[in-house]
């Protein structure tokens, strides 16, 4: 079989069939040249003697040509339709299908793809074969000298994506990357089968391949795998972004995050930090006896936060549903049911504005602990953030946007009303009505905004004048009850509730209270919210009778905490925008004709 392929005198085979009629003559000629070489390297490929690099001969494949080719086509078609995300109603500006360089670059690669298939080489083989992770190779041999490596004469097989290729005629260097770790592969014509050598030269940047051969050090001292055998693992049909400048276009980085991850180390670093953060958080809570649970995303009534929901509909039940804005009310039902310590790391959905701190879909960890109050939740919060920082960043101090942030407990506590008074000179409890507070603010020359209720106005004051100043981790405690319909009243001052928010880097990262477990008080508070709704506060909570019923069965004294996971990751990763820590942030759709 391989002999037949090697002696084939029909270099045109394999490219006529894929020529695109819209290409001009000169381009077609260029392609013909490329196709010939593609054919030749494919023939070379068939000669590989290494059993590790097993390639089924064409004869063996003829039994299932439909399954094979059809499967590939089907997969490509599926891939295309998947790439047409609902938001992407036209091809991407970058890498789109309109005529241009990319088109012809893809054309060349499709030529090679076709030539490989023609020669019976699967460009997307189902199995990889034995391999050593690149990171392991580096770990084992990075500290070995050239002489030591020569004595060891150890062969490995490494796999990864080709990031760059530097060719010197009879010597080729390939930069391979796997899991973010790079390794150089060298191919010396003198040291290997010349057909394999040619095959290496014709691999494209972006291809996945497996290289087998001894580990050595080049004259310039670079650790390399000296290729003896090669196997194409997956063909890449589109060019990678520029190797030096990378992918900078912010929109392209968000829309095609996979490219961002390939060429920008920062994207990978943040993804890893996010994963580590979640792992550290789970391990912290698990170690304290919390049970991880899952509660509905589709809820018949939304609640647990002041926010507007997304609405949706269930066809079979003809039921109006909301995507959850919070899982709070469900988690407290579970505590009522005797699951005394529960947590959920949940995606919440809020139909509101987008900013560098807000994505419509975001991740919140909420945990509830029976028999605890908000002071114990403060201690839990401090300990958790500190431990997560240590696990993720290796230190309880982290750099965020030029500021050093120290998570070491205890964090300072300050009463909310005192914080506002210190910042603005206004005692919001004294100015305890919407009208008097507005008057007080007017007296200080402050912007009144459009807050419809006293509580909202206090919240605005706090957000404008206090929140941005809280760079070091700080607990703001004891909120006016109007702001917190789910928190228990303070025994010392009935106008306040036992609530705290944790602020870091000017952002709210945590929110907690001694949970309100008096069903009658809860009902009154939610009814007051209904009044606020009538006053124009469209975020006021609807009344959830089923939740009240659960409280009537008895909720133990419970401390609850919510943590904005995305924002926590921002701080730990030193990312200035929430979109950097969400792999696929919400973007406006690209529209046909734009």
Partner RNA sequence: GGGCGCGUAGCUCAGUUGGCAGAGCAGCGGACUCUUAAUCCGCCGGUCGAAGGUUCGAAUCCUUCCGCGCUCACCA
Residues 386-445 that bind RNA (CB under 7 A): none
The sign one gets for the Cα dihedral 148, 152, 153, 158 is negative
Enter the DSSP assignment of 247: -
Contact 60, 32 (CB under 8 A): no
Q: Binder to RNA among 11, 432, 449, 519 (CB under 7 A)?
A: 449
By CB under 7 A, tell whether 42 contacts RNA.
no
Q: Binder to RNA among 247, 420, 477, 516 (CB under 7 A)?
A: 247
Supply 318's token pair: 């003809």
Name the packing angle between helices 265-287 and 374-393 (round to 10°). 140
Enter the DSSP assignment of 424: H
Which residues ranging from 266 to 305 are in contact with RNA (CB under 7 A)? 305
By CB under 7 A, tell whether 171 contacts RNA.
yes
Cis peptide bond upstream of 174, omega within 30: no
If you search the block for the tokens 């002071």, which residue do you land on?
Answer: 375
SS3 372: coil
Q: Between 229 and 467, whose beta carbon lies closer to RNA?
A: 467
Q: Binder to RNA among 58, 95, 125, 519 (CB under 7 A)?
A: 95
Which residues ranging from 563 to 582 are in contact with RNA (CB under 7 A)? 564, 577, 579
Give the shortest CB-523-to-RNA separation in angstroms. 18
Which residues ranging from 122 to 151 are in contact with RNA (CB under 7 A)? none
Give the shortest CB-175-to-RNA separation in angstroms. 6
In whole angstroms, what is the distance from residue 575 CA to residue 558 CA? Answer: 34
By CB under 7 A, tell whether 307 contacts RNA.
yes
Give the shortest CB-466-to-RNA separation in angstroms. 12
Question: How many binding residues for RNA (CB under 7 A)?
Answer: 92
Give the shortest CB-579-to-RNA separation in angstroms. 6
Q: CB neighbours of 170 closer than 8 A, spacing ≥ 6?
A: 188, 189, 190, 197
Q: Which H helix or E strand runs over 404? A: strand 403-406
By CB under 7 A, tell whether 22 contacts RNA.
no
Q: Binder to RNA among 89, 145, 167, 404 (CB under 7 A)?
A: 167
By CB under 7 A, tell whether 168 contacts RNA.
yes
Give the shortest CB-333-to-RNA separation in angstroms. 18
HEC assignment per residue over 1-50 = CHHHHHCCCCCCCCCHHHCCCCCCHHHHHHHHHHHHHHHHHHHHHCCCCC
Q: Binder to RNA among 140, 188, 268, 523 (CB under 7 A)?
A: 188
Which residues ranging from 190 to 209 are in contact with RNA (CB under 7 A)? 190, 204-205
User: In this structure, what are the phi and psi dihedrals at residue 499, rounded to the nearest 5 degrees?
Assistant: -140, 150
Supply 362's token pair: 């975001």
Give the shortest CB-301-to-RNA separation in angstroms. 17
Which residues ranging from 485 to 544 are in contact with RNA (CB under 7 A)? 501, 508, 511, 539
> Per-residue x/- mask for RNA, residues 211 to 230, rule CB under 7 A?
-------xxxxx-x------
Which residues ranging from 455 to 474 are in contact with RNA (CB under 7 A)? 456, 459-460, 463-464
Q: Between 24 and 66, whose beta carbon lies closer to RNA?
A: 24
Q: Between 393 and 551, whose beta carbon lies closer to RNA?
A: 551
Which residues ranging from 101 to 120 are in contact with RNA (CB under 7 A)? 101-105, 108
Give the shortest CB-130-to-RNA separation in angstroms. 26
Q: Between 338 and 402, whose beta carbon lies closer to RNA?
A: 402
Q: Between 109 and 393, whose beta carbon lies closer to RNA?
A: 109
Give the shortest CB-37-to-RNA separation in angstroms. 5
The CA-to-CA distance between both ends of the chain, in Å, stands at 53
Task: Decide the pairing of beta strands 223-226 and 181-188.
Answer: parallel
Q: Binder to RNA among 164, 181, 272, 533 (CB under 7 A)?
A: 164
SS3 190: helix
Long-range contacts of 576-582 (CB under 8 A, 24+ apart): 576/356, 576/401, 577/356, 578/355, 578/356, 578/357, 578/358, 578/359, 578/362, 579/254, 579/356, 579/359, 580/270, 581/270, 581/273, 581/274, 582/359, 582/361, 582/362
In whole angstroms, what is the distance from residue 137 CA to residue 223 CA? Answer: 9
Contact 39, 118 (CB under 8 A): yes
Which residues ranging from 543 to 562 are in contact with RNA (CB under 7 A)? 562
Which residues ranging from 326 to 345 are in contact with RNA (CB under 7 A)? none
In whole angstroms, what is the distance from residue 174 CA to residue 181 CA? Answer: 14
Q: Between 146 and 439, whose beta carbon lies closer to RNA?
A: 146
Give the shortest CB-586-to-RNA separation in angstroms. 9
Q: Which H helix or E strand runs over 560? A: strand 558-564
In whole angstroms, what is the distance from residue 42 CA to residue 6 CA? Answer: 9
If you search the block for the tokens 């023939």, which residue do you land on?
Answer: 43
Picking from 358, 264, 349, 364, the residue whose alpha carbon sits closest to that of residue 577 is 358
Q: Between 29 and 436, whose beta carbon lies closer to RNA?
A: 29
Contact 367, 290 (CB under 8 A): yes
Maximum separation of any 2 CA atoms in the chain, in Å: 96
> Per-residue x/- mask for RNA, residues 350 to 389, rule CB under 7 A?
x-xx-xxxx-------------------------------
- Contact range with RNA by CB under 7 A, out of 46-54, 167-175, 277-285, 374-382: 167-175
Q: Binder to RNA among 81, 245, 338, 494 (CB under 7 A)?
A: 245
Q: Binder to RNA among 244, 289, 315, 492 (CB under 7 A)?
A: 244
Contact 264, 241 (CB under 8 A): no
Give the shortest CB-57-to-RNA separation in angstroms. 27
Supply 346's token pair: 């949940």
Give the shortest CB-433-to-RNA separation in angstroms. 20
Q: Between 160 and 562, whose beta carbon lies closer to RNA?
A: 562
Q: Binder to RNA among 140, 189, 288, 438 (CB under 7 A)?
A: 189
User: In this structure, what are the phi and psi dihedrals at residue 163, rounded to the nearest 5 degrees?
Assistant: -95, -30
């Amino acid at each position: 079989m391989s002999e037949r392929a090697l002696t084939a005198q029909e270099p045109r085979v394999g490219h006529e069939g894929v020529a695109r009629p819209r290409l001009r003559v000169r381009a077609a000629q260029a392609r013909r040249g490329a196709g010939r070489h593609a054919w030749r390297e494919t023939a070379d490929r068939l000669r590989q003697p290494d059993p590790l690099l097993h390639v089924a001969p064409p004869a063996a494949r003829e039994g299932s040509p439909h399954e094979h080719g059809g499967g590939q086509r089907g997969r490509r078609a599926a891939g295309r339709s998947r790439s047409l995300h609902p938001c992407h109603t036209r091809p991407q500006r970058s890498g789109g299908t309109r005529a241009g360089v990319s088109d012809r670059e893809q054309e060349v690669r499709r030529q090679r793809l076709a030539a490989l298939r023609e020669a019976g080489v699967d460009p997307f083989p189902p199995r990889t074969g034995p391999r050593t992770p690149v990171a392991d190779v580096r770990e084992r041999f990075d500290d070995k000298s050239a002489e030591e490596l020569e004595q060891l004469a150890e062969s490995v097989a490494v796999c990864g994506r080709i990031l760059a290729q530097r060719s010197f005629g009879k010597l080729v260097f390939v930069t391979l990357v796997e899991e973010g770790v790079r390794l150089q592969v060298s191919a010396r014509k003198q040291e290997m089968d010349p057909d394999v050598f040619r095959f290496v030269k014709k691999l494209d940047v972006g291809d996945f391949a497996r290289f087998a051969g001894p580990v050595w050090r080049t004259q310039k001292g670079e650790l390399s795998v000296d290729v003896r055998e090669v196997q194409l693992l997956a063909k890449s049909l589109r060019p990678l972004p520029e190797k030096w400048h990378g992918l900078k276009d912010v929109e392209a980085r968000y829309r095609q995050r996979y490219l961002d991850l390939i060429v920008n180390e920062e994207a990978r670093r943040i993804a890893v930090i996010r994963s580590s953060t979640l792992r550290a958080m789970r391990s912290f809570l698990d170690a304290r006896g919390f049970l991880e649970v899952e509660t509905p995303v589709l809820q018949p009534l939304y609640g647990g936060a002041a926010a507007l929901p997304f609405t949706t509909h269930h066809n079979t039940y003809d039921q109006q549903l909301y995507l959850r804005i919070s899982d709070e009310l469900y988690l407290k039902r579970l505590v009522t049911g005797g699951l005394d310590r529960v947590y959920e790391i949940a995606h919440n959905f809020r139909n509101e504005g987008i900013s560098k701190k807000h994505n419509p879909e975001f991740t919140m960890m909420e945990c509830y602990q029976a028999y605890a109050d908000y002071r114990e939740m403060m201690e839990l919060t401090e300990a958790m953030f500190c431990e997560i920082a240590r696990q993720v960043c290796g230190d309880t101090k982290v750099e965020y946007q030029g500021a050093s942030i120290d998570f070491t407990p205890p964090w300072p506590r300050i009463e909310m009303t005192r914080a506002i008074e210190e910042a603005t000179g206004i005692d919001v409890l004294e100015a305890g009505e919407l009208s008097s507070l507005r008057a007080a603010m007017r007296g200080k020359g402050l912007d009144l905004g459009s807050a419809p209720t006293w509580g909202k106005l206090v919240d605005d004051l706090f957000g404008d004048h206090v929140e941005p100043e809280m760079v070091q981790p700080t607990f703001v405690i004891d909120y006016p009850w109007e702001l917190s319909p789910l928190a228990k009243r303070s025994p010392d001052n009935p106008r306040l509730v036992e609530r705290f928010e944790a602020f870091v880097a000017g952002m709210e990262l945590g929110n907690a209270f001694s949970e309100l477990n008096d069903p009658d008080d809860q009902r009154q508070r939610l009814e007051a919210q209904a009044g606020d709704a009538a006053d124009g506060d469209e975020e006021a909570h609807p009344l959830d009778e089923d939740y009240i019923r659960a409280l009537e069965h008895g909720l133990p004294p419970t401390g609850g905490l919510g943590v904005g996971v995305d924002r926590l990751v921002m701080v730990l990763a030193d990312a200035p925008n929430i979109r950097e820590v969400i792999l696929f942030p919400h973007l406006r759709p690209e529209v046909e004709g734009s």
